[in-house]
Amino acid sequence: MIIDAHTHLLPPAVAKSRHSFFRRDESFRLLYENEKARLARPIDLLENMDREGVHRSVICGFPWQDPALCREGNDFLWECQARYPGRFLPLACFSLRSLREAEKERDRCLAQGFAGIGELSFYRGGLSAERIRLLTALLKPLQSKGIPVLLHTNEPVGHEYPGKISGGLLPVFRLLQALPDVTFVLAHWGGGFFFYELMPEVARAAAGVFYDTAASPFLYRSLIYSLALRIIGPRRILFGSDYPLLPPQRYFSEMAEAHLPARVQARIQGLNAGRLFFRTPNGGRPRQDQV
């Protein structure tokens, strides 16, 4: 089974009139004011999945500042998975603007059956010490439950683009240290974080961390697959396309170009994600209809 572990869907009101949301959220404006930044409908994603042989997609919304918009986004993702059973695995997002509201939303969504949390991102201001403190409080109850938390990370060097967060990888390390038993998925290859797993203390802190490939063709040569495999092995890498940013085929051709053995590709393209996302919110056995 092929699973795309990182895609985005936003409610129709946002897709239809993105401009009206710009003044409500500065980060959203930053990422989407360029019309080339596409917004997909569920049917677009589904048709693309069918065309490219993807069975399921993990769907994320946008990390709105306004808790009400987060709630609406989460409700929309839940509707999507209910409308197309067996195709979508929704992740829930919350805003750190109010800790109490975020806790409520976390509990509401996980009780409902969301596959995890994410994509959490702090496009403005990055992962500050205060945000690490809030996240630690919010995610602590998830420890040892195996509920994945997808966190946006990006490389600290290279070209600039909208949404690229400065501040380096040290805050990511601090967060992993604060929450050693939370199952993090670091998006976009962790911004290169996996390289530092060559350091024993980083390897210890990141032992349970997964990395997704989202946006890889825009950022790295396909050699990154072989390098990541040498450092972290084949079990903690997840294929994620960041659709509608890029279609899955771009990744599959890079994996072929990198001459990855078929069994390694199978792990990256679905087996790893299957083990990670098909859990009940309590960390229990997956339901029959989920596997």
Residues that bind Zn ion (CB under 5 A): 152, 187
Q: How many CB atoms lie within 10 A of CB 69?
A: 22
- Give the nearer residue to Zn ion in terms of CB position, either 187 or 260: 187
Report the nearest approach of Zn ion to the CB of residue 119 (Å): 5
Rounded CA-CA distance 150/47 in Å is: 25
Amino acid (1-letter code) at residue 104: K
- Give the nearer residue to Zn ion in terms of CB position, either 53 or 162: 162
Report the nearest approach of Zn ion to the CB of residue 261 (Å): 28
Report the nearest approach of Zn ion to the CB of residue 289 (Å): 29
CA atoms within a 13 Å half-sphere pointing along the CA-CB vector of 1: 16
Rounded CA-CA distance 60/93 in Å is: 8
Residue 205: alpha-carbon gap to chain centroid: 19
- Give the nearer residue to Zn ion in terms of CB position, either 18 or 152: 152
Tokens of 197: 């797993």
The two beta strands, 56-60 and 116-120, are: unpaired
Report the nearest approach of Zn ion to the CB of residue 36 (Å): 17
Report the nearest approach of Zn ion to the CB of residue 6 (Å): 7
- Give the nearer residue to Zn ion in terms of CB position, either 87 or 152: 152
DSSP notation for 40-64: --HHHHHHHHHHHT--EEEEE----
Residue whose CB is nearest to Zn ion in the complex, by number: 152
- Give the nearer residue to Zn ion in terms of CB position, either 46 or 165: 165
Is the distance from CB of 95 to CB of 66 less than 8 angstroms? yes
Q: Helical H runs in 53-184?
A: 67-83, 99-112, 129-139, 170-178
- Give the nearer residue to Zn ion in terms of CB position, either 115 or 260: 115
Report the nearest approach of Zn ion to the CB of residue 188 (Å): 6
Please, what is the angle between helix 248-257 and helix 42-52, to 10°?
A: 30
- Give the nearer residue to Zn ion in terms of CB position, either 152 or 236: 152
Report the nearest approach of Zn ion to the CB of residue 82 (Å): 25
Tokens of 219: 């950022």
Closest by alpha carbon to 183, among 206, 199, 212? 206
Is the distance from CB of 116 to CB of 88 less than 8 angstroms? no
